[in-house]
Amino acid sequence: MTRQIRTSPAACDQSLHQAYDTALLDLDGVVYAGGRAIGHAVESLVAARADGMHLAYVTNNALRTPEAVAEHLGELGIPTEAAEVITSAQAVARLIAEQVEPGAKVLVIGGEGLRVALRERGLVPVESADEEGLAAVVQGYGGPDLAWGRFAEASYAINRGVPWYVSNTDLTIPGARGIAPGNGAAVEVVRIATGAKPQVAGKPLPPMHRETVLRTGAKRPLVVGDRLDTDIEGAFNGEVDSLLVMTGVTDAEQLLRAEPRHRPTYVDRDLRGLLAGQPEVVPAAEGFRCGGWTAVALNSGVLELCEDDETGADGEAGRDPMDGLRALCAAAWTAAAEGVCTLDAAKALARLGL
């Protein structure tokens, strides 16, 4: 069966935290950045949970253990149990355990999260490529202090034919000071040295979705993330709805240019979107209207954005820029159909301050 191509953000009459039973939340760029809570994240999550929504934190960051992540969230003001945290380290450890003998030795290139996840699966983490009987190499984000020599250690083993697994391939990771290289950048270092292709467990691939479903038991989940190529594509692959929040690595221009598998069900400014419904984007003349904005794809190759004549809900200056972005998404995605929008949106986005 052919999947319908999304050409517009969807509407939702209910608040999202009431329409879905479980939020599968990314962490970096959604809940926190560089360890610090993102604006409105804590109060939004506490309110959603108090009103009955289950929260699960699904991260491609394999550095820390679920216990450490839960403790950190608690310190931020979000009470969390370790069982509510699902990491790519857990997903890759399960993937390896299904393909090697129990008690097999695995060379670890990364942090403590990987070691704990391997032990949970009955595997033995080791530090040297020279270990006798080495069954696998696993690579995950090791933080900014991971020694360069660890990439060489991985390369030695892989070049000898040892199977290579990686937790995720996110090229970047958001932090308090900006965007930094992620595990995917480190994976490229090893790939260049070996010419090998790893098995990948993390979002957007099926092993991570399977791990999440097994651990949460969600019936009607909503994936919440900031990355099109992991969070949103992972939701697409798992055939579940998604909410993109604009607090991480994805900017408005990238969203407009999203190919079908990267188009979220909903888009909002931050996690306050969980506590609200989502407005309808409707066809209007030759374009699309949302709130006080209308977006049109012109034959000149430009996306045009116009304010409607009527006053917005908060007065003339009170129209929500997110409504304008939603209208632009509909115009861009409809014009692109199965492809990528190439229309010039610079002036339209400047009007929204995005």
Widest Cα–Cα separation across the chain: 74
Q: Which residue has the tokens 């308090």?
A: 176
pLDDT at 309 over 60: yes
**Taking 70 as the threshold, does the pLDDT of residue 73 lie above it?**
yes
273 closest CA partner among 110, 40, 80: 40
Instruction: Measure the CA–CA gap between 27 and 21, rounded to whole angstroms.
Output: 19
Return the pLDDT at 315. 38
Predicted pLDDT of residue 318: 62
| pLDDT tens per residue, range 126-136 | 999 999 999 99
Bond from prior residue into 204 cis (ω within 30 degrees of 0) = yes
Q: Are 331 and 287 in contact (CB under 8 A)?
A: yes
The band of 153, judged by pLDDT with boundaries at 50, 70 and 90, is very high
Active-site residue 241, yes or no? no
Q: Which pLDDT score is estimated for 308?
A: 81
Place of tokens 């993937």: 95
Which residue, 282, 337, 329, is CA-closest to 305? Answer: 329
Q: Using only C-alpha atoms, what is the Rg of the chain? A: 22
Query: From the candidates 13, 21, 28, 231, which is the catalytic residue?
Result: 28
* pTM summary value: 0.88
pLDDT tens digit sequence for 78-130: 999 999 999 999 999 999 999 999 999 999 999 999 999 999 999 999 999 99
Residue 98: how many other CB atoms lie within 10 Å: 9
Residue-level pLDDT at 310 = 46
Q: Which of 21, 26, 130, 270 is catalytic?
A: 26
- 28: annotated active-site residue: yes
Q: Which residues contact 59 (CB under 8 A, 6 or more apart)?
A: 26, 27, 28, 69, 85, 86, 87, 88
